[in-house]
Amino acid sequence: MMAKRPAHSLTQLGSAVTIPRSPDKAVLEAVPNRHRDVDYVARFTAPEFTALCPVTGQPDFAHFVIDYVPAKSLLESKSLKLFLVSFRNHADFHESCTIYIGKRIVEAIKPKYLRISGFWYPRGGIPIDVFWQTGKLPSSVWLPDPGVSPYRGRG
């Protein structure tokens, strides 16, 4: 039997919450990393991300792969989902959205390493892929390929 987990100050997990009105209003929450003695990669994959083109207002679609090596904290997944969905009515360029997401995660959990891969579907016939990383990947950690094919319909 697992030991009882300590109470956390999570405000979204287990509660009915509304989608944040904007990414700036979204709260990314953290939980303690119970395995701080081990370096490992945690991966979030968000294949149905949407934001708005800042010029036309048309929807833009992306497939995100977020890899990080946690330090003291893990990123709580419901807060990440709410954060990502808050971009649905947010207008910004692909590069800016991708980097902003990465920076907010780093601010929230201060990982040892983070890599965000943003695979954006074509706008004007050209797919834009954006990659950003920060921190140092521990030498003992295997970082898998993001696993998203170069654009051929992104299927």
Q: What is the pLDDT of residues 78-120, one digit of tens each?
A: 999 999 999 999 999 999 999 999 999 999 999 999 999 999 9
74 occurs within a structural domain: yes
Integer Cα distance of 83 and 87 in angstroms: 7
What per-residue confidence (pLDDT) applies to 18?
85
Domain span holding position 69? 41-135
Q: What angle do CA 36, 42, 47 make, to 5 degrees?
A: 160
Integer Cα distance of 114 and 52 in angstroms: 25
Q: Which residues contact 119 (CB under 8 A, 6 or more apart)?
A: 62, 63, 64, 65, 127, 129, 146, 148, 151, 154
Active-site entry in 60, 67, 92, 145: 60
12 occurs within a structural domain: no
70 occurs within a structural domain: yes
Catalytic site residue 60? yes
Active-site entry in 53, 67, 129, 145: 53
Instruction: Report whether pLDDT(127) > 50.
Output: yes
148 occurs within a structural domain: no
Give me the CATH number covering residue 111.
3.30.1130.10
* Domain total in the chain: 1
C-alpha 111: how far from chain center: 13
Catalytic site residue 92? no
Structure confidence by residue, pLDDT tens digits, 56-81: 999 999 999 999 999 999 999 999 99
**E strand or H helix at 120, and its extent?**
strand 113-123
Global model pTM greater than 0.85: yes
